[in-house]
Amino acid sequence: MADSSIGYPASLDALHEATAPGRLVASAGGHVVASSAALPLVDGDLSRFGAAWATAGQDTEPAAGQFRLGLLRLHTALLRDTVTKAMATLDGRTADGTSLLSRQLIQGALADAAAEIRECEQMYLMPGPPGVAKDWLISQRLIATGRRLLDLFGARGFLADGPAVDLFLAEVTSNVYLHPGTENQDA
């Protein structure tokens, strides 16, 4: 399984390699997202974050259930790591002489995030057929949880060692690979 502690782009590359050794996995829409190291000739909007995207070539593998599940697991691991970082960050910050982590609202927000992560994990581990709609629903819940966690960091979340970059990349990757592709269809 990909390791979120080494940064999202490297973890995404590891997922590509685990799913399709020697190849990159393409989305249903015909795009690939990977690290800038894996797609070095692409200079897209993600390059400043250590990632890149490209139109899928013939040397790509179409995304299947294993890759889609891997993305959800990678996102879940990233969020668990973000909860741990939030606890450490908030424990080190004080207001009125007490740690922010000791505040009931902060503890409640962290507990809610942990519960949401666990519920999402249970959703994708439930038996039954995987599906695009199910994957999309889970990814949207993971994205919302990440955004709420980022609020706890304040401006610190956007520092170089903050969680914002990896959370942003996880959101972009989810949108590329897990989107059901219905935005142009009538309801």
Please answer whether residues 87 and 109 qualify as being in contact, where contact means their C-beta atoms are separated by less than 8 angstroms: no
Q: How far apart are CA 171 and CA 69, in angstroms?
A: 15
Per-residue pLDDT tens over the stretch 109-128: 999 999 999 999 999 888 77
Q: How far apart are CA 10 and CA 24, in angstroms?
A: 13
Query: Considering the entire predicted model, what is its pTM?
Result: 0.89
Q: What is the pLDDT of residue 127?
A: 79
Q: How far apart are CA 138 and CA 26, in angstroms?
A: 20
Q: What is the pLDDT of residue 125?
A: 86
Tell me which residue has tokens 């692409």: 42
Q: Which of 60-69, 117-126, 132-141 has the lowest mean pLDDT?
A: 60-69
Q: What is the pLDDT of residue 14?
A: 97
Per-residue pLDDT tens over the stretch 16-40: 999 999 999 999 889 999 999 998 8
